[in-house]
Chain A
Amino acid sequence: AQKVTQAQTEISVVEKEDVTLDCVYETRDTTYYLFWYKQPPSGELVFLIRRNSFDEQNEISGRYSWNFQKSTSSFNFTITASQVVDSAVYFCALSDLNTGNQFYFGTGTSLTVIP
């Protein structure tokens, strides 16, 4: 069965600190997709990144970086030099071909960046 675990419920950091949000997933499929979404206080889901299971290359986009490791079934998200605007709930999600485009979301990590 598909499952996404975000063990960190809440994290607080001081502005300019780096922070890593953990995501561990379970799936029996060999072809799957992993996502990160940001949910600011306004409530919408903002797409951040998509990775497929065949591409383990880490990715960097500005202050954001993602570390995908199939060996540990993890897809961690790091924010470098955090800013107050990064305060939000971050969701990791999994989608695989067996379930069409259905997304399985983790329970989210609430990040608070303190000025």
Chain B
Amino acid sequence: EPEVTQTPSHQVTQMGQEVILRCVPISNHLYFYWYRQILGQKVEFLVSFYNNEISEKSEIFDDQFSVERPDGSNFTLKIRSTKLEDSAMYFCASSDPSDRPNTEAFFGQGTRLTVV
């Protein structure tokens, strides 16, 4: 069964450092997303990406964040200068637009980012 894969599963980084979270969406999907879940809180939308550009972003997704699809398979989230409050679980998701109206996003297993 196809799945979204994320690497690494856990990353520890020092405050102020740049970090890149990687995701491999399901191969025939065209919409890609990043969500964030601070420990013990709800899952929050960060950004959606379609046709090589950001289609929507939340207020959380400020200038410190960027996304990229560097090749045909990877989808990355970069945090330029990490802060303590960036510590969270980050979920990547993908969906197939031809699946409408039965839209469904498939989530990866998450990357737990710890900023120290």
Which residues of A come within 8 Å of B, CB atoms? Answer: 31, 33, 35, 37, 43-45, 47, 50, 52, 91, 93, 95, 97, 99-108
Contact = CB atoms under 8 A, between A and B. Distances in A.
B33 A101 contact: yes
B55 A45 contact: no
Contact of A45 (B43, B44, B50, B102): B43
A44 B31 CA distance: 20
Contact of B42 (A43, A52, A108): A108
Interface string B55-74: 11000000000000000000
B104 A106 contact: no
Contacts, number: 61
Interface of B: 31, 33, 35, 41-45, 48, 50, 55-56, 89, 91, 93, 95, 101-110, 112
B31 A101 contact: yes
Contacts of B31: 100-101
Interface of B: prevailing SS: strand
Contacts of B42: 91, 105-108
Contacts of B91: 45
Contact of A102 (B48, B106, B108): B48
B48 A47 contact: no
